[in-house]
Amino acid sequence: MPKLIIDDITVEVAEGTTVLEAAQAVDIPIPHFCWHPALGKAGACRACAVKMLEGPVKGIQMSCMLPVQDGMVVSTTDPEAVAMRRHIIEWLMINHPHDCPVCDEGGECQLQDFTIAAGHGIRRYSGKKRTHVNQDLGPFIQHEMNRCIQCYRCVRYYQEYAGGTDFGVMGSAGRVYFGRFQDGELESPFSGNLVDICPTGVFTDKTARFRARYWDYEMAPSVCSGCSLGCNTTPVARYRELLKITARKNEAVNGWFICDRGRFSNSAVNDPQRPRTPLVDGRESTRDEALEALALRIAETEQLYGTGSIAIVGSSRLALEAALLLPQLAQLTSAGALCYFTSEEERATTTSHLGLLSGGTSASQQEIRESDCIVVSGCDPLQDAPMLALAVRQAWRDGATVYVVGDGIVLPCEFTAVAAVDAVPLAAAKKPVLICSASCNSDHPAGLLVQHSQLKLAVIFPAANSYGAAQLAGEQGGVSLERAVASGKIKGIISVEADIPAHLLAGIPFVAALDWRMTETVRAAQIFLPTTAWVEMDGTSINNEGRAQRFKKVMNPGLPIRGLDPAGHPPHLHRTVPPGGEAQPAWQTLALLIERVSGEPVTEPFSGRWERLRGLDAGSEGVMIHDL
């Protein structure tokens, strides 16, 4: 491993590392705009200049372009390097509108930070600035071309990394334009990453425009609940409103990016129709009254219809903490059924695919990106788990061959259509991955796993915590609600964030619901208790690989301040709980109910083999549950 000295610090790094990365490894910051770990080098901005004092290369060099070599002595503080960077910043800022006070990037802008760091505080240029006309890029991305410093990150990301074709760079010399051929919504399902990747304010999130500054943000590490992949995010909230969602790096999972579906998915959390108040027979009540009534109705139902007449129903969108308490509640109430799935088909297919993944055969997104042969069989990743499609593209860019079985499947890369997986030369591949859906028959992937020991499987499950639900259903003897209701014994349903179809609720005399969404089950419930959305609580979910990941509370539950008063002023009433803020995480409500029924307090949802998840760090890559 080559060894070099940067600002008197000796650094030893892997072959191929650049001087910029070596400096970052020992916390020496070097300004950079065009370089990005996911995109690599371009040498476009010249902001990363350092002085090479000794070794095979001498003089001013671009640190992002220079691979480290033994014996290099680098100075980031040499006056010549500092002056070069200062001049570069000044040139980059010549045409910039200096509009930080009205720019949404202000406060979280790489250009702003490095401009200040370079000491460029006074504009000496008094000539006319080059200006551009902005484009309407659709409902999600705001375009402000005058702030562009031509680092080319956007176009490198959009075209090379994401495979988009409707956005590019046009022009020449000093008039370079990054946009579409004409106004129109960006077509790539990964277009939102332009907001994160642009180091200035050319692309900002239109949905959160002018709503808050960086220092106003409430943020925490979180996990996307949009599909079963569990991509890492940082949601941003202010005044109890989820403003926007940004990507968070997790090398093993989503890398640096997320899909647009996950990014622009705050409407359910901000939905004005969200049920926020406990209800007993349609009357508003306190949480205590609702819990009391619920405990009473459980007892009454059992008295009327006998032991085993209650079904406790969870779902695959429920966080692991609550899912783990359901068996305890089922036992205490002598429930006739413990259900993690409503549909029997979903239970059966999810469980059978889970069986294929338990031995470490699941492929992470990173493993897909590094695969040399990928088969997409009978599923549409772009529709059901978009980041898998982006991972497939990265493998293809690195030389992997991609095969598709099935009609009508679109991928952001070239692929070969084959009639069946058997036509793919899997035996010749070193790191083959099969991507399939949990809704397909699991017999075929099972057979392939036996034939090809090196094969890994990426299964697209129906929801964020399907893996966890199937795991617990298997461990706890869970049945589907469909099957439980068909037995004719079920007369009461306690639904915990479950979406139960109307035909399964018909004829059930007693329904209680815990949820944060307004669903048919909530509408049908005689007793309702509001729960928190994932951004309003700490929790854990298990993604499609079996990776448990922790998400943290971003904001308090309650009605957003915007909308409370037409004049836009916070309410003048003094109260200890914000309006609509009675919601609590589902597991805490379940714990209170269990305490009410059993007299025993529940303070911790993780017990037994799950105890190791207690200290799970939200900033980590997560824990594979088959290692627990």
- Which of 158, 510 has the CB closer to ligand FES? 158
Identify each DSSP E strand in 68-119 by its residue range: 73-75
Whichever of 30 and 555 has its CB closer to ligand FES, that residue is: 30
Cα gap 489→306, rounded to integer Å: 9
Q: How far is the CB of 385 from ligand FES (least distance, A)?
A: 33
Nearer to ligand FES, 45 or 421 (CB): 45
Listed in sequence order, the residues at least 6 apart from 443 whose beta carbon sits closer than 8 Å to its beta carbon are none
Report the nearest approach of ligand FES to the CB of residue 137 (Å).
25
Separation of alpha carbons 395 and 398, rounded Å: 5
Residue with tokens 């040498």: 43
**Which string of DSSP letters, residue by residue, matches 238-297?**
ETTEEEEEEE--BTTTTBT---HHHHT--HHHH-TT---S-EETTEE--HHHHHHHHHHH
Which C-beta is closer to ligand FES: that of 44 or that of 449?
A: 44
Q: CA–CA separation, 448 vs 283, rounded Å?
A: 56
Measured from the CB of residue 32, what is the shortest distance to ligand FES in angstroms? 3
CB nearer ligand FES, residue 85 or residue 238: 85
C-alpha span between 166 and 182 (Å, rounded): 9
For 342, the enclosing helix (H) or strand (E) is none
Distance of closest approach, residue 88 Cβ to ligand FES, in angstroms: 9
Q: CB-based contacts of 409: which residues, under 8 Å, 6+ apart?
A: 376, 379, 380, 382
- Closest CB to ligand FES among 114 and 239? 114
Q: C-alpha dihedral over 412, 417, 420, 421, to 10 degrees?
A: -50
The nearest distance, CB 610 to ligand FES, in angstroms, is 45
Question: Are residues 167 and 186 in contact, defined by beta-carbon separation less than 8 angstroms?
Answer: yes
Binding test (CB under 6 A) with ligand FES, winner from 4, 11, 13, 64: 64
The residues near 466 (Cβ < 8 Å, ≥ 6 apart) are 228, 316, 350, 438, 544
Long-range contacts, 440-444 (Cβ 8 Å, 24+): 440/349, 440/377, 440/378, 440/379, 442/349, 442/352, 442/353, 442/355, 442/356, 444/377
361 touches 456 (CB < 8 A): yes
Which among 465, 464, 467 has a CA at the least distance from the CA of 475?
A: 467
Query: Residue 46 or residue 491: which is nearer to ligand FES going by CB?
Result: 46
Q: Which of 62, 280, 424, 438 touches ligand FES by CB under 6 A?
A: 62
Number of H helices and number of E strands within the chain? Answer: 19, 28
**Shortest Cβ distance from residue 198 to ligand FES (Å)?**
14
The site that binds ligand FES (CB under 6 A) totals a number of residues, namely 12
Closer residue to ligand FES in complex, CB, 85/347: 85
Give the shortest CB-130-to-ligand FES separation in angstroms: 20
* Minimal distance, residue 13 CB to ligand FES, in Å: 17
Q: List strands edge to edge, sheet with 49-54.
A: 9-12, 3-6, 73-75, 49-54, 59-62
Between 93 and 440, whose beta carbon lies closer to ligand FES? Answer: 93
DSSP code per residue over 552-588: ---S--S--STTTSTT-PPP----SS-TT---B-HHH
Per-residue contact string for residues 18-57; x = within reach of ligand FES by CB under 6 A = --------------xxxx-------xxxxxx---------
340 vs 336: CA distance, rounded Å: 14
In the complex with ligand FES, the residue whose CB is nearer, 20 or 514, is 20
Q: Between 44 and 624, whose beta carbon lies closer to ligand FES? A: 44
Site string for ligand FES, 147-186 (x = CB under 6 A): ----------------------------------------
Buried b / exposed e along 380-415 (16+ C-beta atoms within 10 A):
bbbebbbbbbbbbbbbbeeebbbbbbbeebebbbeb
193 burial class (0-12, 13-18, 19+ CB within 10 angstroms)?
A: buried
CB of 62 to ligand FES, least distance (A): 5
Among positions 397-416, residues that touch ligand FES (CB under 6 A) are: none
Q: Which is nearer to ligand FES, 84 or 435 (CB)?
A: 84
Least distance in Å: CB of 51 to ligand FES? 14
Least CB distance to ligand FES at residue 75 (A): 16
What is the per-residue binding string for ligand FES in 594-613, x denoting contact by CB under 6 A?
A: --------------------
What is the distance between the alpha carbons of residues 475 and 340, in angstroms, rounded to a whole number? 11
Least Å distance, CB 64 to ligand FES, is: 3
Q: Show the site string, 368-397: x = touches ligand FES by CB under 6 A, - = not.
A: ------------------------------
Nearer to ligand FES, 95 or 225 (CB): 95
- Beta carbons of 33 and 151 less than 8 angstroms apart: yes
Beta carbon nearer to ligand FES, 43 or 563: 43
Considering only residues 554 through 593, tell me which ones interact with ligand FES, judged by CB under 6 A: none
Closest to ligand FES by CB, 62 or 374:
62
CB of 44 to ligand FES, least distance (A): 5
Give the shortest CB-343-to-ligand FES separation in angstroms.
52
Query: What does the buried/exposed string (b/e) look like for 203-228 if buried means 16 or more CB atoms within 10 Å of the residue's CB?
Result: bbbbbbeebbeeeebbbbbbbbbbbb
Nearest-approach distance from CB 391 to ligand FES, in angstroms: 26
- In the chain, the N- to C-terminal Cα span, in Å, equals 35
Torsion of CA 300, 303, 305, 306, to 10 degrees: 130
> Token digits for 546?
């079996």
Q: Residue for token digits 């493993």?
A: 367
Interface residues with ligand FES (CB under 6 A) are 32-35, 43-48, 62, 64
